[in-house]
Amino acid sequence: MDYDGLEDRRLIRLIAQGDEAALGALYDRYVRLVFSLVLHIVGVRTIAEEVTLDVFTQIWQKAASYREERGQVNTWLTSMARYRAIDHLRRRDARPEGHSVALDTAYASGQTAHGNPETTTSDALQRQRVRQALAELPEEQQEVLALAYFGGYSQRQIAELLDLPLGTVKTRVRLAMDKLRFLLREEQLT
């Protein structure tokens, strides 16, 4: 069987029936997308590889739970990847050792990365504000922004990848950027 020519939905049905080759085809088709999205969220390549593997393991185990009427396979995959990455961050942040830093590491990062601790702290706070603003966007807007800015995809590639009209992708990007601009400007005024 030529798995490369099959639609995503067909691959999911085959995976639900235990077809490993179908999982391989789906993996080949979406591993770059899932990995780049997860890497953007977790920020560490080895962890992103681990979470990506978890996503495809979860697909193998839960393929039967996919519902066509609730969305496309690629949307289901990216949502799953996003949630798994966020879950990883939550688990890491819940552990006390996740917050500890050796004194020499703290000194080195504060003194050499940007020249002084004030700049380092300011940069960290700014990144946190941007992450919070991104979290307030609707999921479909977060998805296109992640693909465009962190995955390196063009709007045309995103449209093809998500099987959406190009105009829809452009609108989502514009609306997301407008809302981010508003949220970040509003925060500066308060």
At residue 148, the pLDDT reads 80
Q: What does the block give as tokens for 37? A: 């999205």
- Any idea which fold 118-190 has? Arc Repressor Mutant, subunit A (1.10.10)
CATH of span 1-96: 1.10.1740.10
At residue 1, the pLDDT reads 82
Report the predicted TM-score, pTM, of the whole model to 2 decimal places.
0.53
Q: What does the block give as tokens for 18? A: 């235990």
Identity at 165, one-letter amino acid code:
P
Residue indicated by tokens 């391989």: 24
Q: Which residues of 96-105 are buried (b: 16+ CB within 10 A; e: fewer)?
A: eeeeeeeeee
At residue 139, the pLDDT reads 86
Question: What mean pLDDT do residues 177-183 have?
Answer: 87
- 90-125, pLDDT tens digit by residue? 777 654 444 444 434 443 444 444 456 777 777 777
- 70-99, pLDDT tens digit by residue? 888 988 888 889 888 888 877 776 544 444
Question: Where are the chain's structural domains?
Answer: 1-96, 118-190
Q: Are 151 and 169 in contact (CB under 8 A)?
A: no
Average pLDDT score, the chain: 81
At residue 101, the pLDDT reads 44
Count of C-beta atoms within a 10 Å radius of residue 168: 15
Question: What mean pLDDT do residues 131-144 have?
Answer: 85
Question: Running DSSP on this structure, what letter comes out for residue 150?
Answer: I
Q: Which residue has the higher pLDDT, 62 or 189?
A: 62
% of the chain residues with pLDDT over 70: 83
